[in-house]
C-alpha cells in the first residue's frame, strides 16, 4: 500500500507542478491580455491542491517504507507539514515568476501576486520546520552528503564515506542552486528596467566558473604554508613534486571570500565589454548584493558536509534549534544516531541568516532610505551614488566574516596562524569604504560636467535583418526567365551588439 501512495503522490506532485507551469507560462507569454481568466485561476488552484496532496502522500509513503516507529502525533505533524510546505513553497515560486515576468499585468492582480509572494516566504519556512520536526528523530545521522556511482552501483554517501567512481555532493548542488536563485532575482530586476529577460544568461555562465576558480586560488594562497590545524601545505606539496594537488578541488578547499571577488570582477568585465548599454555601476548595485542570497543558500552545503561550525556545547542548551539540525551537528554518531549529548554550534546557519538579512537591508532598506542622486541636482555628498549598494556588500560581508572567523573551529581557519580570512575580511571592509568615496567623487565631477549618472541606454534595441527572400529556381529554364532586377538586393548589416534573449 505504501508503494501505491508513493506512486500516486509522485503523479499528483509532478503533475500539479507541470500543469501550473503550463498555466502560468501560457499567460506570461500572451501579451494580448493582462489578467488571468477565471478558468486559468481555478485551474491553478486545482493544480496547487493536487501537488500539495501529492507531497503529503509521498511523505506518508516514505514514513511507511522506512518502517519508522512513528507515533500518530509526529506522523500528523510530518504529513501536515508536507502538505502546506508544498502549497506555500510552490505558491512562492509561481507568484515570484508571475509578478516579475508580467509587470504590465492588471494592477489588482499584481497586488494580490505580490502579497502572495511576501506571505509565502515565512509560511514556507514554518511548514518546512514543522515537517522536519515530525521526522527528525527517525532519520539516520549523519545525513547523506551526496551519492556515488561506481562498480558496486548507486549508493548514498556521508561526509565520513570513502569516495569512488562518479560522486555528486549536495554541497555542489546547493552552490549551483544558490547561484541560480541569485540569477533569477537579478534577471527580473533587469527586466523591470530594460523590459527584457536573459540579459545576464551568458554572464552567469562566465561568473560561476570564474568564482570557483578564484575561490580555489584564494584557498591555495591562504594555505600555501599550511594552517594551524594540520591542513594542506601547498608549498610542501610543490617541493615534493605534488604540485598537481593545487588543482584537486574535488578533495575540498575553496573560500567564499575569493570566490566573491573573482565573480564580481568577471561580471563587471562582462557588462563593460558585452552589455555596453547597461551602466556597470547600476548593474553592480543589483547583482553584487544578491551574492548574499547565493551565500546564504550555499552555506547549507556545509550542513551536509558537517563543517564550518564552532565550539562544542550541550544539545540540551540549544533546544531552540530543530531536532534534525541538532542531530546533524552532533560531535559523534553510532548506528545512525547521535551519541554523547554534545553538538557543534552551527556557525554556517548563523552566517547564512546574517547573509540573507544583509541582502534585504542593502537591496531594500538602504536602497529605499538613502535617496539616490539625480542628474539635475547640485552635487550633494549625502545622496547615494550608483555603486554604493555593491560597496555595502563588501562592508557587510567583511564585518560578518570578521565576527564569525574567531568563533570557528580552528580546523577551518585558513593560514599558518589561522588569521588569513580575518585579515581578508578587513580588506573587504576597506575596499567597500574606499569604493563609496570614489563613487561620490566620480559623481561630483559628472554632475559638474552635466553628464548623466546612469549611462544605461534604455532605448537600445538590437537591429534585426529584414525577412526578405530570393526566388528559388528549380531548373535551368526557369533560371533564365528570372528577372534578377526584381530580386532583393544583398543586405549588408554591420555587426551590432550581442542581442539579449527575449
| Bridge partners, 148 (sequence order) | 155, 167
pLDDT attached to residue 381: 61
pTM, full prediction: 0.82
The helix/strand/coil state of 372 is strand
Q: What is the pLDDT of residues 248-263, one digit of tens each?
A: 776 667 777 788 888 9
Q: What DSSP state is assigned to residue 333?
A: E
Q: What is the pLDDT of residues 421-455, one digit of tens each?
A: 778 889 899 999 999 999 999 988 888 888 888 88
User: What are the boundaries of each domain within the chain?
Assistant: 1-138, 140-310+346-464
Window from 6-10, 12-16, 181-185, 408-412 with minimum mean pLDDT: 408-412
Q: What is the pLDDT of residues 276-309, one digit of tens each?
A: 899 999 999 999 999 999 999 988 988 998 888 8
- Mean pLDDT (the chain) is 83
Q: What is the pLDDT of residues 363-382, one digit of tens each?
A: 989 998 888 877 655 556 67
The helix/strand/coil state of 173 is helix
Q: Please count the residues of the chain.
A: 502
19 burial class (0-12, 13-18, 19+ CB within 10 angstroms)?
middle
Backbone angles phi, psi at 113, to 5 degrees: -65, -40
pLDDT attached to residue 380: 61
Q: Residue 477: pLDDT above 80? A: no
Beta strand 330-334 with 166-169 is: unpaired
Q: What is the pLDDT of residues 316-354, one digit of tens each?
A: 999 899 999 999 999 999 888 999 899 999 999 999 999
Q: What is the pLDDT of residues 353-362, one digit of tens each?
A: 999 999 999 9
**Close Cβ partners of 229 (under 8 Å, ≥ 6 residues apart):** 410, 411, 412, 413, 418
Cα gap 482→68, rounded to integer Å: 81
pLDDT attached to residue 244: 77
| 105 — pLDDT class (breaks 50, 70, 90) | confident
pLDDT attached to residue 466: 40
The helix/strand/coil state of 410 is helix
Backbone angles phi, psi at 157, to 5 degrees: -125, 160
Give me the percent of the chain exceeding a pLDDT of 90.
38
Q: What is the pLDDT of residues 141-165, one digit of tens each?
A: 999 988 888 878 888 888 888 777 7
Q: Residue 496: pLDDT above 80? A: no
Write the DSSP string, 281-308: HHHHHHHHHHHHHHHHHHTHHHHHHT-S
Q: Residue 228: pLDDT above 70? A: no
Amino acid at each position: 500500500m505504501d508503494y501505491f501512495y508513493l506512486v500516486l503522490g509522485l503523479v499528483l506532485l509532478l503533475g500539479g507542478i507541470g500543469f501550473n507551469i503550463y498555466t502560468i507560462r501560457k499567460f506570461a507569454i500572451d501579451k494580448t491580455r493582462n489578467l488571468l481568466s477565471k478558468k486559468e485561476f481555478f485551474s491553478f488552484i486545482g493544480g496547487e491542491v493536487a501537488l500539495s496532496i501529492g507531497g503529503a502522500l509521498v511523505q506518508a509513503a516514505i514514513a511507511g517504507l522506512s518502517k519508522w516507529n512513528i507515533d500518530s502525533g509526529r506522523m500528523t505533524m510530518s504529513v501536515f507539514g508536507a502538505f502546506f510546505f508544498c502549497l506555500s513553497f510552490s505558491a512562492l515560486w509561481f507568484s515570484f515568476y508571475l509578478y516579475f515576468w508580467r509587470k504590465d499585468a492588471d494592477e489588482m492582480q499584481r497586488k494580490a501576486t505580490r502579497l502572495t509572494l511576501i506571505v509565502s516566504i515565512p509560511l514556507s519556512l514554518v511548514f518546512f520546520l514543522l515537517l522536519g520536526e515530525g521526522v527528525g528523530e527517525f532519520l539516520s545521522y549523519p545525513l547523506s552528503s551526496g551519492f556515488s556511482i561506481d562498480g558496486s552501483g548507486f549508493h548514498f554517501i556521508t561526509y565520513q564515506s570513502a569516495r569512488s567512481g562518479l560522486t555528486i555532493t549536495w554541497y555542489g548542488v546547493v552552490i549551483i542552486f544558490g547561484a541560480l536563485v541569485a540569477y533569477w532575482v537579478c534577471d527580473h530586476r533587469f527586466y523591470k528596467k530594460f523590459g527584457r529577460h536573459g540579459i545576464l544568461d551568458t554572464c552567469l555562465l562566465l561568473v560561476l566558473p570564474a568564482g570557483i576558480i578564484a575561490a580555489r586560488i584564494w584557498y591555495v594562497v591562504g594555505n600555501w604554508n599550511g594552517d594551524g590545524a594540520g591542513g594542506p601545505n601547498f608549498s610542501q606539496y610543490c617541493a615534493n613534486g605534488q604540485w598537481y594537488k593545487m588543482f584537486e578541488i574535488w578533495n575540498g578547499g575553496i573560500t567564499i571570500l575569493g570566490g566573491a571577488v573573482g565573480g564580481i570582477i568577471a561580471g563587471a568585465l562582462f557588462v563593460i565589454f558585452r552589455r555596453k548599454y547597461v551602466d556597470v555601476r547600476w548593474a553592480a548595485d543589483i547583482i553584487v548584493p544578491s551574492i548574499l542570497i547565493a551565500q546564504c543558500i550555499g552555506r547549507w552545503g556545509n550542513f551536509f558536509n558537517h563543517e564550518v561550525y564552532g565550539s562544542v556545547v550541550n544539545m540540551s542548551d540549544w533546544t531552540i534549534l530543530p531536532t534534525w539540525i541538532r542531530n546533524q551537528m552532533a560531535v559523534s554518531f553510532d548506528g545512525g544516531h547521535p551519541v554523547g549529548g554534545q553538538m557543534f554550534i552551527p556557525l554556517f546557519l548563523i552566517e547564512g541568516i546574517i547573509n540573507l538579512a544583509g541582502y534585504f537591508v542593502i537591496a531594500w532598506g538602504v536602497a529605499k532610505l538613502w535617496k539616490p542622486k539625480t542628474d539635475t541636482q547640485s552635487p550633494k555628498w549625502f545622496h547615494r551614488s550608483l555603486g554604493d549598494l555593491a560597496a555595502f556588500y563588501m562592508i557587510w560581508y567583511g564585518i560578518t566574516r570578521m565576527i564569525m572567523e574567531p568563533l570557528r573551529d580552528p580546523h577551518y581557519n585558513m593560514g599558518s596562524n589561522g588569521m588569513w580570512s580575518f585579515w581578508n575580511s578587513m580588506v573587504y571592509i576597506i575596499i567597500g569604504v574606499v569604493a563609496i568615496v570614489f563613487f561620490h567623487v566620480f559623481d561630483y565631477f559628472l554632475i559638474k560636467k552635466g553628464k548623466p549618472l546612469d549611462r544605461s541606454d534604455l532605448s537600445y534595441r538590437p537591429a534585426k535583418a529584414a525577412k526578405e527572400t530570393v526566388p528559388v529556381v528549380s531548373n535551368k529554364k526557369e533560371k533564365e526567365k528570372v528577372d534578377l532586377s526584381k530580386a532583393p538586393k544583398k543586405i549588408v548589416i554591420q555587426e551590432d551588439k550581442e542581442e539579449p534573449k527575449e
